[in-house]
Amino acid sequence: MTSVEALGYLGFRVKSLEDWTVFATEILGLTATRTQIDGEEAVVLRMDERAHRITLRAGNDELDYVGWQVSGPDALDEVAAALREAGVAYKEDAGLAELRGVRRLLSCTDPAGYTLEFHYGATMMQEPFLSPTGARFVTSTPDGADTGLGHLVLVCRNVDETTDFYRKVLGFKVSDHIVPIPGMLLTFLHTNPRHHSLAVAPVYKDGPTGVNHIMLEVDDLDVVGRALDKVQQRKIRQLATLGRHTNDKMLSFYVQSPSGFGVEYGTDGVLIDDDTWSVVTYDASAYWGHAFDRD
C-alpha cells in the first residue's frame, strides 16, 4: 500500500505534565511514567506493549512531532528515496533514534510545518500493559495487521499542498471526504486498514492551525461510557456529545485535553479493504449525536 505502515507515536509540548498525567491515566486509561529525556522532565504514555505511544515534555501546548512507522530498513530507504525525488529535505539521526527507542529514524517537515519522524524497530516492553481503567486499546486488526495508535487531525492553511504531499510523496490513500458545513472539505487518509490515520482540515473562520484532535480507540463500549461519566462528573469540557460518525462509523465522544486540543475516545471503527473500497463524500460528520461545543 505504502512505505508508511502506521501512526507509531506522537510527541507534544505541554504546559502541565501533572494535569496530563491525571487526564491520561484516570480518563483515557493509559499508563504514565515520569522520566528524563535528553535532560528534560517528560511523561511517557503507553497503551500497548510499545515502550511509548505519546511523549509529553514541558512547553507551550503544541504538537512536537509525529512518528510514522515503517516496516523495516527497506521501507525506510523507500521513504528516503521518495523524499529526495520530491525535493524534500530530510535528516537521518542516530542520536534521535536512540532517544525515541527505535533502530533508525529520519525526519523532515511537511508542507504545513509539522515535524515528521519516519522510523522502524520500536522498542517492545517485556512488562505487559495494564490499563488503570481496564481499557484495551485497538492498535491492530483481529488478524494482527498493525493499525497504529489511532488517528490525528491536523488543521492547516495549505490543505491542497499538504494533502498532495501525503498522497503523492508518501503514498497515503484517500479514504473519503466530509463537508461538515458548506465550503469546508475534510480529507481522510489511510496507510493500513484503520479508516484513517490522518485527516487534513482547513482553518475554520479565524481559528488556529495545529492539532484539532487525536483519536484513541478501545474495544469495549462500556469503557467509553465509563470515561464519559468521569468527564461529566469532573466537569471537564466535553467538545462533542456521544455519537456515531458517518465515515469511519466510530461510536465516540470528544473531550478537551489539558492542552486545549480534542481527544476523541471511541470504539467500533470500520476497517478498510482497499480491494473493495470506494471514495465518497459525506454531507455530515455524524449519523447522530456529536453535537459540538463551538464556544
> What CA–CA distance (Å, rounded) separates 85 from 83?
5
Query: Do residues 295 and 245 lie in contact, with contact meaning Cβ atoms separated by under 8 Å?
Result: no
Q: So what's the pLDDT on residue 1?
A: 44
Domain count, the chain: 1
Q: So what's the pLDDT on residue 193?
A: 97
> What CA–CA distance (Å, rounded) separates 13 from 15?
7
Flag whether 295 is in a domain. no
Segments forming the whole domain that contains residue 98 = 4-289
> What CA–CA distance (Å, rounded) separates 156 from 41?
30
Global pTM reads 0.97
Q: So what's the pLDDT on residue 207?
A: 86
Q: Which residues pair with 173 in a beta bridge?
A: 190
Q: So what's the pLDDT on residue 144?
A: 92
> What CA–CA distance (Å, rounded) separates 69 from 112?
20
Query: Do residues 11 and 67 lie in contact, with contact meaning Cβ atoms separated by under 8 Å?
Result: yes
pLDDT per residue of the chain (295 residues) written in tens, 0 to 9: 468 999 999 999 999 999 999 999 999 999 999 999 999 999 999 999 999 999 999 999 999 999 999 999 999 999 999 999 999 999 999 999 999 999 999 999 999 999 999 999 999 999 999 999 999 999 999 999 999 999 999 999 999 999 999 999 999 999 999 999 998 999 999 999 999 999 999 998 888 999 999 999 999 999 999 999 999 999 999 999 999 999 999 999 999 999 999 999 999 999 999 999 999 999 999 999 999 886 6
Q: So what's the pLDDT on residue 295?
A: 63
Flag whether 106 is in a domain. yes
Flag whether 167 is in a domain. yes
The three three-digit cell numbers of residue 82, written as one number: 521518495
Flag whether 67 is in a domain. yes
Q: So what's the pLDDT on residue 160?
A: 97
Give me the CATH number covering residue 283: 3.10.180.10
Flag whether 294 is in a domain. no
Q: So what's the pLDDT on residue 205?
A: 86
Q: Residue 99 — left, alpha, or beta (φ > 0 → left; ψ -120 to 50 → alpha)?
A: alpha
Distances (CA, A) of 131 to 45, 118, 211, 237, 250: 11, 28, 25, 23, 21
**CB pairs under 8 A, 24+ apart, for 122-125?**
122/8, 122/9, 122/50, 122/51, 122/69, 123/50, 123/51, 124/49, 124/50, 124/51, 125/46, 125/49, 125/50, 125/51
Q: So what's the pLDDT on residue 3?
A: 84
Residue 185 phi/psi, 5° resolution?
-115, 125
